[in-house]
Amino acid sequence: MKLRHGITLCSLPATQTGAESGDTQSVDVVLIGAGTMSATLGTLLQTLQPEWTIHLYERLDKAAEESSNVWNNAGTGHSAFAEMNYTTSRPDGSVDIQRAIGITEQFEVSRQFWASQVREGVLSNPRSFINTVPHLSFVWGQERVAYLRARFEAMHGNPLYAGMEYSDDPAKIAEWIPLVMTGRDQQDPVAATRMAIGTEVNFGEITRQMMNSLSRHDNFHLSVNTQVRDLKRNPDGTWKVTVADTHGGGNERSVNARFVFIGAGGAALPLLQKSGIPEARQYGGFPVGGQFLYTTNPDVVAKHDAKVYGMAPAGSPPMSVPHIDKRILDGTPAIMFGPFATFSSKFLKNGSWTDLMRSITPNNLWPMTKVGLNNMDLVRYLISQLRMSESGQFKELQNYYPEARREDWKLWTAGQRVQTIKDIEGKGGTLQFGTELVSGAEGTIAALLGASPGASTAPSIMLKLLERVFPEQVASEQWQAKLKAMIPSYGKALAENPQLLYDVRAMSRELLELTEPDLTTTPASHSEPETSGS
């Protein structure tokens, strides 16, 4: 099989794929970073082209220990049901929901993909990695209540949001989220929307299970405690990937790969820069960390069965939207609230303090500086977060849980994210929210930059990568059949195909053992607005 520009991918005999001899090996695919993205891409490729040889390198001692770890992310199945940063107000007061529609469609692809992996035995015990937890948007104050109602009006008639409920009646909202409403000032106007089919996801467990399945195949080799030191293009268009053991003296070895995917979270940017491809020159990155308050007190946890998203402060990045969430942390029920932004020059939680400085180049220095000058709201927000005391953090929690007791809550430092900065011709340096897929012109190397919605939409992102770097294979009857077996809606817009939407939701609900309501029998139905005067 050929990549763009004629570079051929072929399977290699298993005897040539070992990583122990120290000789330069040749493999079809190298994946860098043992997180959700690499696990998803590896699983797709194993299904689509099982004879291809794949090597995966992870610098830590096991998979899913950085951003994919259940403690290092919000665990929200990001479906845009509640995340108000995915919908924007227009000058006339209406709300643009186009970005939300795109994210909802992508999460539906994730559900289908995970369901298909349960059916094939790649994933097992769905309740260990996905559970039904309603998603709510919650606001207070007249202006925000008006916004949320306009958001609901724009969304609830779309098939993707069938079953969405709205209320500005405090008593009704208290039925949905008693922990949030108990003890609240009844004079303050409030409103909420609710989607009962929201999910809580353990991306670390999904990643580990997919890695375990991949490792059962002779053509797949996972090397942990192994750091990628360099990437250089060979004369024949393949890539020489130089790696070293992080334990045992750091002896270097290399492998030649026909295709390389850099899915190393925050470390993806420095590795992309090492490749030397022109497409990497326009990117910079700024690390943003996060902390959460959490409790496992069963009396508190029993009061809250929801993920409740508020509105972000002006200038804050999307990853900083405040939310109070029901979590299942590797089997332990908990509630988390946050995030609170932190700063570290590391690009990974287990990274180096020199990461930021080493990523600055003559090409991205000015765009990065310009972003800081043009986004003073963001700068002020980060400074305010860094100056916030523990008591200030607890007061923020009380905005969402008025009766919270200090002794029930602990502070946890979550994973690092790197906010992507892109030098766009005519605009200079701009912040890129969401994820950014970067690939070389020859289609032999690609990297994923950015953050939220991230892991929630990993299957869609990796499908986009396949379409970009393997266009001939994706167009083939063989791959098309396999893709549609995994993702029945592949190539179709679910918002425009209501019956297909309800069919795939029913399928994924059954295979993933979700306890959400069955909406498949009422594809034309939706909830009418419910107000305090009704």
Residue 324's contacts (CB-CB under 8 Å, 6 or more residues apart) are 179, 180, 304, 307, 308, 335, 336, 337, 397, 400, 401
Per-residue CA distances from 25 to 307, 326, 442, 446 (Å): 47, 46, 22, 21
What whole-number distance in Å separates Cα of residue 55 and Cα of residue 293? Answer: 38
Question: How many CA atoms are closer than 13 Å to the CA of 117, on its beta-carbon side?
Answer: 29
Q: What helix, strand, coil percent values describe the chain, rounded to 5?
A: 35, 25, 40
Residue 462 CA from chain centroid, whole number? 12
Per-residue pLDDT of the chain (534 residues; tens, 9 = 90+): 455 544 455 443 333 333 333 467 899 999 999 999 999 999 999 999 999 999 999 999 999 999 899 998 889 999 999 999 999 999 999 999 999 999 999 999 999 999 999 999 999 999 999 999 999 999 999 999 999 999 999 999 999 999 999 999 999 999 999 999 999 988 899 999 999 999 999 999 999 999 999 999 999 999 999 999 999 999 999 999 999 999 876 689 999 999 999 998 888 888 999 999 999 888 888 888 889 999 999 999 999 999 999 997 655 555 568 999 999 999 999 999 998 888 888 877 777 888 778 787 887 776 777 777 677 677 777 777 778 888 889 999 999 999 999 999 999 988 887 878 888 776 667 767 778 899 999 999 999 998 777 899 999 999 999 999 999 999 999 999 999 999 999 999 999 999 999 999 999 999 999 999 986 544 443 445 544 443
Both tokens of 438, joined, read 């970067």
Per-residue CA distances from 248 to 60, 176, 215, 461 (Å): 14, 54, 23, 36
Please tell me whether the overall predicted TM-score, pTM, comes out greater than 0.85 for this model. yes
Question: How many CA atoms are closer than 13 Å to the CA of 112, on its beta-carbon side?
Answer: 25
DSSP string, 244-274: EESSSTT-EEEEEEEEEEE--GGGHHHHHHH
User: Which amino acid is it at 308?
Assistant: V
pLDDT for residue 19:
38
For the chain, domains (ranges, CATH) are 25-67+204-282+429-486 (3.50.50.60)
Other beta carbons less than 10 A from residue 518's beta carbon = 12
What whole-number distance in Å separates Cα of residue 272 and Cα of residue 445? Answer: 9
Q: Tell me, letter by letter, the H, E, C secondary structure of 480-498.
A: HHHHHHHCCCCCCCHHHCH
Question: 317 — phi, psi (to 5°)?
Answer: -70, 160
User: Which amino acid is it at 31?
Assistant: L
Question: Angle 36-48/203-214 helices, nearest 10 degrees?
Answer: 40
Both tokens of 379, joined, read 């700068």
Residue 395's contacts (CB-CB under 8 Å, 6 or more residues apart) are none
Residue 123's contacts (CB-CB under 8 Å, 6 or more residues apart) are 114, 117, 129, 206, 209, 210, 213
- Cis peptide bond upstream of 523, omega within 30: no
Residue 409 CA from chain centroid, whole number? 26
pLDDT for residue 216:
97
Question: How many CA atoms are closer than 13 Å to the CA of 523, on its beta-carbon side?
Answer: 14
